[in-house]
Amino acid sequence: MEDALRTIYAGLMILSGAASVSGNLLLLLALLLNKSLRNDATGLTLSSSLSDLALGLSTIPFGAYNSITQHSCYPSEGVVCQGSGFIFLLLLTSSLHSLTWTTVNKFTEICFALSYSSIWTARRSRAVLVLVWGFCLVTASLPLLGFGRYVYSESRFLCCLSFDPDDKPFVLLWTLVGIVAPLLAMCSLYAYIVYVARKQARRGTFMCNELHCYYVPANNYLRSSLVMVTTSVCLLVCWLPFTSVCLYETLSGHQSPAGTASLSAWLVLTSAALNPWITCVTQTKYRAALHRSLRWFAATCPRSSAHGESRPQSAARLDATNTIRTTATAATQLSSPPKTQTAP
């Protein structure tokens, strides 16, 4: 049973790592090639995407490697375990908090559309980024300074926080401030946005710009509501099992079953794979930008290779044509009789 659990865990982690890397690379490609996607809050999207990409390149392969090679234990005081635990906590917290502030920006854009440009400025966006990463760095550094510990978890195949009762103060602080508070904030904001969308769908509305006014169908509001609900459900499914297992082990002093701990760790890391795909698939502007980027990329690569292949062929054809023309001219000159000069 233990070998089967290791195999399943390794396979799931490999799939999550591949989905995380590919999804975040697509999202970064869309932001790089499409200036229309860039605004004052682009830094928050980049922060969340880079954190998820780093998780897919560091922590997820580390867990898959440990489960495949059946590595039993890392020294908790070793550099590998301490560094891996620091990176895991830092990236996990920064991903969730960056996503939370992205939701706050979306809420401001929808519910305070007229004053959005004055509320959410580039300077305030940079200040939010500094606060997010400062909080995450301080939180991840506290176990290195003695407030909390990083240990190797044999059931999760990762170096992570110690959930012993002795480390209860730090675990409770990180759980409440680092996980529960941003999750509640995001779900509450999404719920209010869905409420506004349903109310607008019932009565319909007109959107106006400088040129004309046009009617917005109810399906647009209902579709956006579906996106918000899907995002909230994915967040809760990924984070609630991990949070519940952490609190259970910390408060009770008992270890949770190996399968439960492994599943909760995989789910919370899978959020790094789902976040970019939810953004790219459900949001119309990102989906259109990805289509344009992929069409541009597909059109550029064959064109460059075609140019590289056509130049030698065109040169050969030109040489052959010149040779034929030279031969024909020489044959004409030889076959024509010489002109005689008449006497004056």
Instruction: Quote the pLDDT of residue 143.
Output: 94
What is the residue type of 32? Answer: L
**Model confidence at 324, in pLDDT bands (50, 70, 90)?**
very low
Q: How far apart are CA 240 and CA 243, in angstroms?
A: 5
Note the maximum CA span of the chain. Answer: 128
**Model confidence at 211, in pLDDT bands (50, 70, 90)?**
low
Instruction: Quote the pLDDT of residue 191.
Output: 86
Q: Specify the CATH architecture of the domain 2-284.
A: Up-down Bundle (1.20)
**Model confidence at 71, in pLDDT bands (50, 70, 90)?**
low
Name the percent of the chain lying above pLDDT 70.
Answer: 77
Instruction: Quote the pLDDT of residue 314.
Output: 45
Residue 220 has pLDDT above 60, yes or no: no
Q: Higher model confidence: residue 251 or residue 110?
A: 251
Q: How far apart are CA 158 and CA 172, in angstroms?
A: 20
Counting every residue, how long is the chain?
344
What is the pLDDT averaged over residues 300-317?
Answer: 50
CA–chain centroid gap for 197, Å, is 26
Q: Higher model confidence: residue 259 or residue 225?
A: 259
**Model confidence at 68, in pLDDT bands (50, 70, 90)?**
confident
Instruction: Quote the pLDDT of residue 287.
Output: 75
Handedness of CA 294, 297, 301, 307 (dihedral sign): positive
What is the pLDDT averaged over residues 80-106?
Answer: 92
Residue 225 has pLDDT above 70, yes or no: no
Closest CA to 293 of 7, 5, 27, 4: 27
- Whether the pTM exceeds 0.75: the reply is yes
Q: What is the DSSP string of 166-208?
A: GGHHHHHHIIIIIIIHHHHHHHHHHHHHHHHHHHHHHH-EEEE
What are residue 214's phi and psi, to 5 degrees? -140, 155
Instruction: Quote the pLDDT of residue 72.
Output: 62
Q: Higher model confidence: residue 342 or residue 241?
A: 241
Q: How far apart are CA 90 and CA 322, in angstroms?
A: 68
Cα angle at 59 between 56 and 60, to 5 degrees?
A: 55
- What residues does each domain of the chain span? 2-284
Q: How far apart are CA 79 and CA 87, in angstroms?
A: 12
